[in-house]
Amino acid sequence: MAEARKKSIRDSTGIVVRPIKRTGTQVVRSLILGKPNTILYPYQHLKLPPTYRGKHVLDFKRCIGCSNCVQICPNDCMWMQKLEDPELGKIERPGIDMGRCLFCGLCVEVCPTVALHEGVEFELANRDRTKIKFDPRDLRDDHYADSVKEERQKHTIPVLDLDKCSGCEKCAGECPEMCIAMMPVEGTGRKKPEFTLAKCEGEGKCAIVCPDKAIEMKDVWESYFEMPEPKFELKSCTGCGACARACPAGAIYMMDMPGTEKTLAGGKKGKPKKRAVFVLEKCVGCGKCFRACKFKAIEMPGVRK
Amino acid sequence: MENTKGSPGEGIERPPMNVGGGSAEERVIRALIDGFPQTVTDFRKVRDGFLRAKIERRNLYKACKMLRDQLGFEHISMITAVEYEDRFELVYHIACYGSCLLLELITTTPKDDPSVDSVAEIWGGANWQERESYDLMGIRFNNHPKLERILLPKDFMFHPLRKSYKEGP
Amino acid sequence: MAEMWINMGPQHPMTHGLWNLRIKVDGETIVDAEPEVGYLHRGIEKICENRTYTQILPIADRLCYGAALSWNHLYCRTIEDLMGLEVPERGQYLRVAALEMQRIASHLMWLAAYAADLGMMIGFIYAMRDREIFIDLLQAMSGSRLTYNYCRIGGVAHDAPPDFERDSLRACDYIEKKIEEYYDLYEGSKVFMMRNVGIGKLSKEDAMNLGVTGPPLRASGVRYDLRKDVPYESYDAIDFQPITHPDGDCYARYRVRMEEMLESCKIIRQAVTKMPKGKWRIVAPRNGPVGTGLGRVEDPRGEGMMYAVGDGTDRPYRLKIRSPIFVTVSAAKHMLVGYKVADVVAIMGGLDMCIGETDR
Amino acid sequence: MNLYDFCYGIIHWLVDLINHIWYWLAGLPGVFGDFFRSIGDLAASHGNISFFAIVLEAVIMLVIILINVLNFIWIDRKFMGRMFDFYGPYYVGYRIGGWLQNLADGMKLFVKEIIVPAKADRFGYLVAPVIFVGSSIAILATIPLSDKFGIFTSPTDTGVPAGVLFAFAMFAVAPFSILVAGWASNNKYTLIGGMRSAAQMMSYEIPLLLCVASVVVLAGGFSFEAVVTAQEKIWFAIPLVIGFVTFIVCMFAEVEVQPFDLPEAEAELVEGWTTEYPGMRFGLFMMTSYLRGYCAGALITALFLGGWLGPSFIPGPIWFLIKAYIVFVIVEWARWSLPRVRIDQLLNIGWKRLMPLAIVNLIIAVALKSMGWF
């Protein structure tokens, strides 16, 4: 039909009639047949799709305060704020400065526990610049996250709680795909089960058989971004526990190393030195341990201080 | 319209040597190596339709002239200036409409004397790109028709894309 | 008559965006023209050197506000070439569909600005109204209306929204019917033809030599379309024809863009129906390898290229952006000389200027 | 019983009312009484009453026309809105379709600050709008809405004998004021805008007046009443169809409507010659351009579409206004659907296309007249 239109200019007889006929039918169409194309804004609102990237919504229960979103934000418009919450205790949640935010949606994708979402509210104008710096409490909405269909797949993996684990190796024998291997933890003389998650099918036999309930099957979201892994050097670790306290995901446990007690003045035995042990399945790659460690015991390639 | 899979750029007259797609690459390679034996080094075919070659800056101009006249490379897509620790690298992407080829010519210049012959006479499209490289990276193009700053104000003293250019002016 | 230099810009209703066209005028006819750019230079190439690969995605969107998605996609292609990644099949088809919708939206934005320049407010309003259809489709896919940030390194951000296929097919039928109406509105009126036919002629040799690419090049008769000749994503699995026009004047450029919109509808239909199921995204490595990556894409305005140099860290060492309009504008002189001052509007409007990408 | 009688009656009744006071004061002793009695006699004299009657007539006509112009602005924006597929003015006075939007705009322009550009020529800058608005309103003086309803000076009067001539004379004063406005505001672009507009009007004045000449030849008289009554049997638009079309196209150029609105070409010159006029002066210019739109409509109906002639169930003036509205809507319709013409194309359309057509039309008119059909 485009070729049919290929008329030379000379015989475009309509000189001015055809465009007028065209606009005429448009008047008829919008006056009599349908309503005009526009909506009367303050009284009528457009329905926005659920994927619309508007004002952020934060689920306090899901968020673990790992500051991944703060690090990935291209405009540095997020900051971690320490809060005192009645039921969650002392927590750290991100606040957003909408004045700088460019609504790119990267923070929503990098969040390991899918706590941060972007709602459909876009009327954020305000006369006072400080009022568009939203405090975490302003962004809080604990049941918005469940209503949103999340595209990332969830798969259940065994999660180890090292304090309860006594190193009895029952889970290693039980696992049908043999993906659990008991690795000795250097210096502490105890053993710790290492999971190769690629082979794990997630039936949870190891969780059932574990005598002291150290292994628990948890739903973990797949991550779209490759997150850095911490590497630990025993030599320079003084066992101060700063990294264990800093880790939001609880992936670092302090285990004491027998035989390193120093004899104190009164001949009594001092407490044994401690060392950090990493459960890498829980790690979300936020780099907080790397920044907390003052003795360079933890290496993370590519993460800046 | 011509037949469905007519070779693109058919409507234009091309130098006689352009025969068939596959052998076009060999022909370009042979022509360049015969024309400039020592100066064209490590010729590589990255993927079909994309060649890469290093060339001395001495006879860059002659090579480009030959590329346009005999081998039918009518379009210079992009001129990039990259600053390394010890050298400047100028990457020329030259495209041929006839056989959909893209040639990446890389020339290096010492760090202290970043100057190279201008190809603005051969391809009109290179004029502004060379001015931009001069403006942002400080590479002088000899006998360029109008080598001035294009993006930055005329009285700007620095070349911002240099690694040494850290904070504001 | 004394020749005098006139400044058409930088703040002028004819220039879409901030650039200045200095024309030397002898009476009414143009003798010489010299465009000046650089008023919107944000130093994006320097910014990208201090950001990680993922953080550059939203910056790449803001290169050209008219076709944000095609620049975002070009950046992703460059980094995928640098890292040697392969995008899953569904991701490629989603990208092709989104890119073609962006092309139609960008051409409609051009048509709106072009009609408004020639004095037809009605053309502006119609084109903007029909562009809304595609903006809504892209909004449902990616989440925002102008800077979509839809492509990710190694795939696409979100899957297609529910009943995406039905909506896009309906949108294509709607826009094809509307383009038929536009032919009445534009080619039907002799006044429009008087202002366009034979104005701003650019010969084939000049177009090729001066580095003009995209619709203005195809309007001068060169049958070269990157989507067809250097197929990327899944364009080779889709059959469509690049549009050319022998004349090379303003009318030819208008004509090429209108028919390209119809071609894009054909591509969208095929892409949407052939879209396979499965993953649409892979996890990209955090640190890029040492080496170089090249992306070459058919932007609605011409041939967009990016050249990235990686140095092993998670930030690019150098990212060069080749903007089609930056080179096409340098050829403005050849299109302008010999025509009237009132034609500058039509000729420069025909190039679909987007200053964001010109000045970077 | 034409408008003059009606106004004469009103003024007469008013004067009698006031004279009661004078004659009551006339009862004062001596010279004071005589003084008030003479005022009373003067007021009641025929000259005084007819003078005020004509003033009242002019006021009535002006009020009617200005209400129509406001209606035109509203129709234009509403009709254009629907043509552009949106609502048009809606919020201000939404029960009557946003009609009050024009008043709101007027109010807004009233409160704007009056700025005179520093280096502008003060006298020229201030006088230009006065001439432009004055001459445009003066066109309306001689256009009667019907043989009974117009500005007449005696009960049996049927309008100014050379009404058509006067109307087009006033119509041609505008280019002078546009030139002065463009030049006086001391801005390069408005100067170009002013000159372009003057060139455009000059080149379209001649074919316009040739068409008018052909109409007057057929009608045999210069007054509107003669022209309209001559169209009793058949409207002049039918025999002189070429003249009708040329007249409309020339009116497009005279009133600076879209295909020919070179002076306000947004693309090249920002706003043409009204750039430097802020506030209510710009409001006056804008309102006057619609007023001239009405005048164009009125002249087309009067000369070609048989002014107030029409089946009698609708009174004369209403017929006149209906036809004027229809012509205006058609002008707007074409205005919003055509792009702008280039300056040289504009001039060669004027001289090479319209001029011959106008002459051919004049020949036809003379031929018809000499064959005695009219």
pLDDT tens readout for residues B105-127:
999 899 888 889 999 989 988 99
Q: What is the dihedral sign for C-alpha B104, B108, B113, B116?
A: negative
Distances (CA, A) of D36 to A2, C114, D26, D49, D51: 87, 74, 5, 18, 21
Q: How far is B73 from chain C (nearest CA, A)?
A: 10
Q: Count CB atoms within 10 A of the CB of residue B62.
A: 14
Q: Which residue of B has its CA nearest to C324?
A: B77
Touch between chain B and chain D: 3 or more Cβ pairs under 8 Å:
no
Q: What is the CATH number of the domain that holds C96?
A: 1.10.645.10
**Count of domains forming chain C:** 1
| Residue from B52, B75, B88 whose CB has the most chain C CBs within 10 Å, to mutate | B75
| φ/ψ (deg, to 5) at A22 | -65, -50
A87: closest CA among A147, A127, A140? A140
3-state helix, strand, coil in chain A (%, to 5): 20, 25, 55
**Are residues D339 and C191, on separate chains, in Cβ contact within 8 Å?**
yes
Percent of chain A with pLDDT over 70: 94
Average pLDDT over residues C299-322: 91
What type of residue sits at position C82? L
Q: What is the pairing mode between strands A190-195 and C302-311?
A: unpaired
Q: Is D333 touching A (CB cutoff 8 A)?
A: yes
Q: Count CB atoms within 10 A of the CB of residue A196.
A: 12
- The residues, any chain, with a CB within 8 Å of residue C40's CB and separated by 6 or more, are C17, C18, C19, C355, C356, C358, C359
Q: What is the dihedral sign for C-alpha C65, C66, C68, C70?
A: negative
| φ/ψ (deg, to 5) at C320 | -100, 135
Of the candidate ranges C219-228, D7-16, D139-148, the one whose mean pLDDT is the lowest: D139-148
For residue B11, pLDDT beyond 50: no
**Are residues D267 and C192, on separate chains, in Cβ contact within 8 Å?**
no
| pLDDT value, residue D213 | 92
**Of residues B9, B124, B132, nearest to C211 (C-beta):** B124
Give the integer Cα–Cα distance in Å for D218 and D210: 13
For residue D266, name the pLDDT band (cuts at 50, 70, 90).
low
**Of residues A1, A104, A118, nearest to C57 (C-beta):** A104
Mean pLDDT rounded to a whole number for chain B: 81
pLDDT tens readout for residues A36-80:
778 888 888 888 888 888 899 998 888 888 888 998 898 889 999
Q: Is C222 touching B (CB cutoff 8 A)?
A: yes
| Residue from C44, C51, C52 whose CB has the most chain A CBs within 10 Å, to mutate | C52
Question: What does DSSP assign to residue C10?
Answer: S
Q: Containing H/E element for B54?
A: strand B50-54
Rounded (5°) CA angle D194-D197-D200: 150
C142: closest CA among A74, A174, A53, B125? A53
**Are residues C294 and B11, on separate chains, in Cβ contact within 8 Å?**
no
Give the integer Cα–Cα distance in Å for A258 and A54: 55
For residue D268, pLDDT beyond 60: no
Give the integer Cα–Cα distance in Å for D83 and D337: 9
Q: Which residue of A has its CA nearest to D82?
A: A27
Q: Is D90 touching A (CB cutoff 8 A)?
A: yes
**Are residues B152 and C38, on separate chains, in Cβ contact within 8 Å?**
yes
Contact C347, C198 (CB under 8 A): no
Q: Is C129 touching B (CB cutoff 8 A)?
A: no
**Are residues B75 and C208, on separate chains, in Cβ contact within 8 Å?**
yes
Average pLDDT over residues B71-97: 90
pLDDT tens readout for residues B29-54:
888 888 777 777 778 888 888 888 88
Size of interface A-C (CB pairs under 8 A): 110
- The residues, any chain, with a CB within 8 Å of residue A227's CB and separated by 6 or more, are A68, A112, A283, A284, A285, A286, C286
| φ/ψ (deg, to 5) at A238 | -95, 0
**Are residues A2 and C259, on separate chains, in Cβ contact within 8 Å?**
yes
Give the integer Cα–Cα distance in Å for C296 and B77: 10
Distances (CA, A) of C105 to A78, C60, C92, C163, C268: 33, 18, 20, 21, 13
Q: How far is B58 from chain C (nearest CA, A)?
A: 23
For residue D150, pLDDT beyond 60: yes
| φ/ψ (deg, to 5) at B67 | -55, -45
Q: How far is D61 from chain C (nearest CA, A)?
A: 35
C126 chain-D contacts, CB cut-off 8 A:
84-85
- The residues, any chain, with a CB within 8 Å of residue D207's CB and separated by 6 or more, are D246, D250, D350, D354, D355, D357, D358
Per DSSP, the three-state class of C311 is strand
| Residue from A3, A22, A27, A114 whose CB has the most chain C CBs within 10 Å, to mutate | A22
A22 chain-D contacts, CB cut-off 8 A:
337
Contact A56, A65 (CB under 8 A): no
**Of residues C14, C189, C340, nearest to D267 (C-beta):** C14
| pLDDT value, residue D263 | 67
pLDDT tens readout for residues D190-212:
887 788 788 888 888 899 999 99
**Cα pseudo-dihedral D344, D348, D350, D356, rounded to 10:** 180
Give the integer Cα–Cα distance in Å for D168 and D279: 29
Average pLDDT over residues C208-235: 90
Mean pLDDT rounded to a whole number for chain D: 86
Q: Is C115 touching D (CB cutoff 8 A)?
A: yes
For residue C131, name the pLDDT band (cuts at 50, 70, 90).
very high
| pLDDT value, residue D235 | 87
Distances (CA, A) of C347 to C57, C183, D262: 33, 20, 18
Residue given tokens 């390194």 in the structure block? C153
Per-residue b or e along D1-18, where b marks 16 or more CB atoms closer than 10 Å to that residue's CB: ebbbebbbeebbeebeee
Q: What is the pairing mode between strands C4-8 and A215-221?
A: unpaired
- Whether C179 is in a domain gets the answer yes
For residue A2, pLDDT beyond 80: no
* pLDDT, greater one: A148 or C294: C294
Q: Which residue of D has its CA nearest to C13?
A: D267
**Of residues D84, D339, D343, nearest to C189 (C-beta):** D339
N-to-C CA span, chain C: 39
Average pLDDT over residues D250-266: 77
* pLDDT, greater one: B44 or C58: C58
What type of residue sits at position A15? I
Q: What is the pairing mode between strands B75-83 and B50-54?
A: unpaired
Q: How far is A12 from chain D (nearest CA, A)?
A: 15
Per-residue b or e along D236-246, where b marks 16 or more CB atoms closer than 10 Å to that residue's CB: bbebbebbbbb
| pLDDT value, residue C359 | 85
Give the integer Cα–Cα distance in Å for B2 and A12: 27
DSSP A94-155: EEEETTT-----HHHHH-TT--EEE-S------SSGGGGEE-HHHHB-TTHHHHS---S-EE
- Whether C260 is in a domain gets the answer yes
Percent of chain D with pLDDT over 70: 98
Per DSSP, the three-state class of A188 is coil
Average pLDDT over residues A166-176: 79
| pLDDT value, residue A305 | 64
Q: Which residue of C has its CA nearest to A222?
A: C283
Give the integer Cα–Cα distance in Å for B124 and B122: 7
- Between positions 57 and 86 of D, the ones with CB within 8 A of A are 79, 81-86
| Residue from C5, C125, C178, C250 whose CB has the most chain D CBs within 10 Å, to mutate | C125
For residue B13, name the pLDDT band (cuts at 50, 70, 90).
very low
Average pLDDT over residues D352-361: 91
Q: What is the pairing mode between strands B140-142 and B115-117?
A: parallel
Average pLDDT over residues C249-258: 93
* pLDDT, greater one: C10 or D173: D173
Distances (CA, A) of B102 to A263, C78, C170, D122, D153: 75, 15, 39, 66, 88
For residue B5, pLDDT beyond 80: no
**Are residues C229 and B76, on separate chains, in Cβ contact within 8 Å?**
no
Give the integer Cα–Cα distance in Å for D281 and C317: 60
Which residue range(s) make up the domain with C347? 47-354
**Are residues A12 and C193, on separate chains, in Cβ contact within 8 Å?**
yes
Question: What does DSSP assign to residue C358?
Answer: H
Average pLDDT over residues D46-73: 91
- Whether C31 is in a domain gets the answer no
Residue given tokens 């017929």 in the structure block? D319
For residue B3, pLDDT beyond 60: no
Mean pLDDT rounded to a whole number for chain A: 81
Size of interface A-D (CB pairs under 8 A): 40
B135: closest CA among B145, B146, B149? B149
**Are residues C122 and D83, on separate chains, in Cβ contact within 8 Å?**
yes
- Whether C13 is in a domain gets the answer no
For residue D276, pLDDT beyond 90: no
pTM of structure: 0.88
Rounded (5°) CA angle B73-B77-B80: 125
D84 chain-C contacts, CB cut-off 8 A:
121-122, 125-126
* pLDDT, greater one: A9 or A215: A215
Give A190-199's long-range contacts (Cβ < 8 A, gap of 24+): A190/A255, A191/A167, A192/A160, A192/A162, A192/A165, A192/A167, A192/A277, A192/A279, A193/A160, A193/A165, A193/A169, A195/A157, A195/A158, A195/A160, A195/A281, A197/A157, A197/A281
Residue given tokens 């010299």 in the structure block? C34
Q: What is the dihedral sign for C-alpha B66, B71, B73, B79?
A: negative
Give the integer Cα–Cα distance in Å for D67 and D73: 10
* pLDDT, greater one: D199 or C137: C137
| Residue from C72, C126, C175, C185 whose CB has the most chain A CBs within 10 Å, to mutate | C185
Q: Is A15 touching D (CB cutoff 8 A)?
A: no
pLDDT tens readout for residues D284-340:
888 888 898 889 999 999 999 888 888 888 888 899 999 999 999 888 888 888 888
- Whether C98 is in a domain gets the answer yes
- Whether C243 is in a domain gets the answer yes
Residue given tokens 């297609």 in the structure block? C160
For residue A5, name the pLDDT band (cuts at 50, 70, 90).
very low
Size of interface B-C (CB pairs under 8 A): 113
C208 chain-B contacts, CB cut-off 8 A:
12, 74-75, 97
Of the candidate ranges A254-258, C191-195, D34-38, D57-61, the one whose mean pLDDT is the lowest: A254-258
For residue C261, pLDDT beyond 90: yes
Highest mean pLDDT among C266-270, D31-35, D312-316: C266-270
| Residue from B7, B74, B99 whose CB has the most chain C CBs within 10 Å, to mutate | B74
**Burial (0-12, 13-18, 19+ Cβ within 10 Å), D270:** middle
Average pLDDT over residues A82-96: 88
Give the integer Cα–Cα distance in Å for A215 and A227: 24
For residue A260, pLDDT beyond 90: no
Q: Which residue of A has its CA nearest to C285?
A: A226
For residue B15, name the pLDDT band (cuts at 50, 70, 90).
very low
| pLDDT value, residue C13 | 64
| φ/ψ (deg, to 5) at C44 | -65, -35
| pLDDT value, residue C317 | 92
- Whether C2 is in a domain gets the answer no
Q: Containing H/E element for D227?
A: helix D224-230
For residue B156, pLDDT beyond 60: yes
Domain ranges of chain D: 3-44, 113-370
Q: What is the ipTM of this complex?
A: 0.84
| pLDDT value, residue A34 | 67
